[in-house]
Structure 1
Amino acid sequence: MAALAVAGVASAQSSVTLFGVVDASISGYSNSSRDLKPTVLNNNFGAPTYTNRGSVKVSRTALANSGYNTSRLGFRGTEDLGGGLAASFWLEAPISNDDGATGVSTFSRRSTASLSGGFGEIRLGRDYTPTFWNDNVFDPFGNNGVGSNLINTANGYNVTTGGAKDTGGFGGNQNYSRASNSIGYFLPPNLGGFYGQVMYAFHENDKYSGGQFTPADSATSKSRAGRYIGGRIGYANGPLDVAMAYGNSTVGDQFYAGTTDSVKTFNLGASYDFGPAKLFGELSRAKNSRDYAITPITGARPDVDLTGYMIGVTVPVGAGLIRASYSAVKYDRNLPFDYFNPANNLDPKANKLAIGYVHNLSKRTALYATVARVSNKNGAALTVGGPGFYKVTDRVFTPKTSTGYDFGIRHAF
């Protein structure tokens, strides 16, 4: 009888919630490239003739999703275990409501089980990385739609493919926004405004002892690729919120070559709510480097540095909210000076201006509009979304500008 009574109390103190967002937009993208080589006519100086090919634009109009908030469907639940302890789960799936092709077939947004109490929270599964939180929280556009800041774009996608959004990430970093197979710890919320978290994600690769039995095949000789370790510490009190984070993601390694590739990320973000306006800012630096067991005398691969900053503002206007941001990034390839190809000495860089308006019809439903423009220089190929630039790899057309818009509706439940 006592056991049944305890079970009844536990059942009464448990809860399961179904939640989600359905966000649909009409979105347009336009990416322009230009041939920067001058026309060379027939001449007597031995210079090869060349006809400038002008410019080319790749554009697309689409019924898209997630222009304001990411479309999703989730289930979360909590059970009070007594004594201040609680067990929880969170399963969240991305959905593509524009075509219905993606539903609850994967919980790739978040899938965690956790135990919390006065000590804080221990969380197991797939979750946001500490370093991604600053990119998300301190962006007026929340990393969604054409307005998402360039720090997010450059870190989250492999832009060497011409700006197309493949998920290779900067330096091949698959752990930029989320990490699977992770253990996370979060500080308790009663620390006078201080908050923080640490995370370790297992690579789950095979390890051979002794090491000479490791297969020579490049695909199976990896013993650390996929590992992530990072942390975030912040302070939020009244109108002020400031946080810094650091993470190290192992993106590749070769046992017999004795190399380990990693992307190390540091960022600092802050916001301050003045009432009539809320200001946002972020500084970020990511380094893609290769560590050698024995450093070669020549031929070592240089590091690639990605630095960026963002400033933004939101202004409430009645039932609406004006959003704006300016962001910029620069790549440093750390290459030796090239006398014969001066263009190789220039660092690729880009800047972006975005502005938007959100009109809240209710607490759950909103209409929104966003426009944005990216300007690329020195071979950078960042876009607002949609298609990539035309034939970046043939080195004839240089990526220049990318413009886009979102007009949509968001409903949360």
Structure 2
Amino acid sequence: MKKSLIALAVLAASGTAMAQSSVTLFGIVDTNFTYIDNANTAGDNKYGLGTSGNATSRLGFRGVEDLGGGLKAGFWLEGEIFGDDGNAAGFNFKRRSTLSLMGGFGEVRLGRDLVPSYTKVSSYDVFGQVGIGQFMGWSTWGQSTSTPDANGYRQDNMLAYYTPNFGGFTAGLGYGFDEKASGHDGRYMGGFAAYDNGPLSVTVALDRRDIGYNVAPLVYDGKKDMLSIGASYDVGMAKISALAQQSRFKDVPASSDRKVNSYMIGAAAPVGAGQVRLQYALYDQKAIDSKAHQLSLGYVHNLSKRTALYGTVAHMKNKDASNLALAAKGLSTTGAGAGESQTGVQLGIRHSF
């Protein structure tokens, strides 16, 4: 009888622990066929299998433990996968590797992650920051930099804080340590403030990133400041989104400060079992006195809650010295050349688990 009681107590304790903790395996596989004309300065056309045309392919693990008193601990490990070549360069957790404490005060997050000044405001991109249709305001804009994350998406060694939702108001702050013996190449600081109420959403984000310019034989410390303002409104039959952004590069060697203004307006509308997406973007590159216009049209057809077919057509019209290229991940493409245009088509399938 005593052994039975002990066994029942152990099972009960184990059941309680399991109820307070959870670990989830999740992922997305997105593979597509892509065609790009004027894929390089030689005017070659490129086609083949690519990845992440509708959503970034990924594999991850996340877990939460209830510590009691409203306090929770959590972890998140996530890496990108490539369905076209099976991760030829190897798998890592560079998409996200964080540890968090959460409660009524909000969330404190430590590790490598999307920066707060990107994670919310980037959601206004109708194409979700993936594929050839995506808004390309987050870019290094041709700067020679030694910082791998100079595009502004993610940050190593970051301490971040996200507030609870106060009647629709949310905010986030982050600081990324450079951890360098000299200089501050790689340091980040930034945040956002947002308001979401019914059909309306508005976000303002601001950040500064220290980046290095390699000009042999010296390495210069420079700065990249970015201000982003995004908004969306759901009118019922469609959701209208807009973004305005300025990137300013400071302390650039052998030149004055450089500035790029980027603008985007788009709409997403449900059609049957899918969604139509239309987006226009303008990239005003003040440093080279040139502009580029991007027009993107896409359709996503849901076969189920987890599987979808999609197609996207995008055109990049470069003017004067501009040489922007469409983002075709997994396909070897570059800019078509100064003032040259580029058109791309993607047809793919996305499955989540």
Q: With structure 2 as the length reference, what TM-score do the two structures score?
A: 0.89
Give the stretch that moved more between structures: 261-270 or 25-34.
25-34
Q: 2:340 aligns to what SS in structure 1? A: strand
Distance apart, 1:331 and its partner CA: 1.4
1:96-245 equivalent positions in 2, closer than 5 A: 96-102=82-88, 105-134=91-120, 136-152=122-138, 155=139, 157-159=140-142, 174=150, 176-189=152-165, 191-206=166-181, 222-245=182-205
Query: Which letter maps to 2:183?
Result: S
Which of residues 314, 317, 320 in structure 1 aligns to 2:274? 320
2:301 is the counterpart of 1:359: yes
d(CA) in 1 for partners of 2:219, 2:82: 42
The alpha carbon displacement at 1:148 in A equals 0.6
Q: Distance in 2 between matches of 1:136 and 1:252?
A: 25
- 2:240 maps to 279
SS in 2 for 1:141: coil
Q: Does the aligned pair in 1 maintain the 2:32–2:51 contact within 8 Å?
A: yes
- Paired amino acid for 1:22: V
CA distance in 1, matches of 2:277, 2:221: 41
Distance in 2 (alpha carbons) for counterparts of 1:202 and 1:93: 22
Q: How far is the alpha carbon of 1:131 from its aligned partner? A: 2.5
Q: Distance in 1 between matches of 2:16 and 2:39?
A: 63
Shift of 1:145: 0.6
C-alpha distance after superposition, 1:319-362 (max 9, x if no partner): 110001000111122xxxxxxxxxxxx60210100001010011
Cα deviation digits, residues 252-306 of structure 1 (max 9, x gap):
389xx99641000000001111110000000000100018xxxxxxx96300101
Pairing 1:344-383 to 2, within 5 Å after superposition: 347-383=289-325
SS in 2 for 1:144: coil
- Secondary structure of the corresponding residue to residue 132 of structure 1: helix
Letter in 2 for 1:362: S
The answer to whether residue 297 in structure 2 is matched with residue 290 in structure 1 is: no
C-alpha displacement at 1:389, in angstroms? 3.5
Distance 1:103 1:251 in 2: 25
Q: Does the 8 Å CA contact 1:271/1:278 hold for their aligned counterparts?
A: yes
Q: Report how far residue 223 of structure 1 moved.
A: 2.3
CA contact (8 A) 2:121 2:204 kept: no
What is aligned with 2:38?
31
1:48 aligned partner? none
How many residue pairs get aligned? The number is 338
User: Residue 388 of structure 1 corresponds to which residue in structure 2?
Assistant: 334
Q: 1:266 to 1:226 in 2, by over 3 A?
A: same
- In 2, the alpha carbon distance for the partners of 1:149 and 1:93 equals 22
1:300/1:280 Cα in 2 relative to 1: closer, same or farther (>3 Å)? same
Q: Deviations over 1:82-113 (max 9, x none)?
A: 00000000000100011112587210101100
One-letter code aligned to 1:305: K
In the superposition, relative to structure 1, how do residues 91 and 103 fare at CA in structure 2: closer, same or farther (>3 Å)?
A: farther
Deviation at 1:399, TM superposition (A): 3.8
Divergent runs of 4+, >6 A: 3-7
The answer (yes or no) to whether the contact 1:175–1:226 under 8 Å persists in 2 is no
In the TM superposition, what are the counterparts of 1:81-96 in structure 2 within 5 Å? 81-96=67-82
Please identify, of 224-233 and 132-141, the stretch whose mean Cα deviation from structure 2 is larger.
Answer: 132-141
Cα RMSD between the aligned structures?
Answer: 2.6
Determine which structure has more spread, i.e. the larger CA radius of gyration: 1
Whether 2:32 is the aligned partner of 1:17: answer no
CA contact (8 A) 1:314 1:322 kept: yes
CA shift in 2, pair 1:268/1:199, >3 Å: same
Please state whether the residue corresponding to 1:137 is helix, strand or coil. helix
Taking structure 1 as reference, are residues 310 and 253 closer, same or farther at Cα in structure 2, changes over 3 Å only? closer
Q: Mean alpha-carbon deviation: is it higher for 110-119 or for 399-408? A: 399-408
Q: Given that residues 33 and 400 in structure 1 are in contact (C-alpha distance below 8 angstroms), is that contact kept between their aligned partners in structure 2?
A: no
CA contact (8 A) 2:28 2:56 kept: yes
- 1:164-184 per-residue CA deviation (whole Å, 9 max, x = no partner) reads xxxx59x98626100010000
SS in 2 for 1:261: strand
Q: Structure 2: how far apart are the matches of 1:279 and 1:24?
A: 28
Letter in 1 for 2:210: T
Q: Structure 2: which 5+ residue stretches go unaligned?
A: 1-5
SS at match of 2:164: coil
Aligned to 2:342: 402
Which ranges of structure 1 fall in alignment gaps of 5 or more residues? 35-55, 162-167, 207-221, 292-298, 334-345, 393-397
The alignment-based identity, stated in percent, is 42
Question: 1:24, CA displacement in angstroms?
Answer: 0.8
- Write the distance in 2 (CA, Å) between the matches of 1:176 and 1:58: 30
Query: SS of the residue aligned with 2:38?
Result: strand
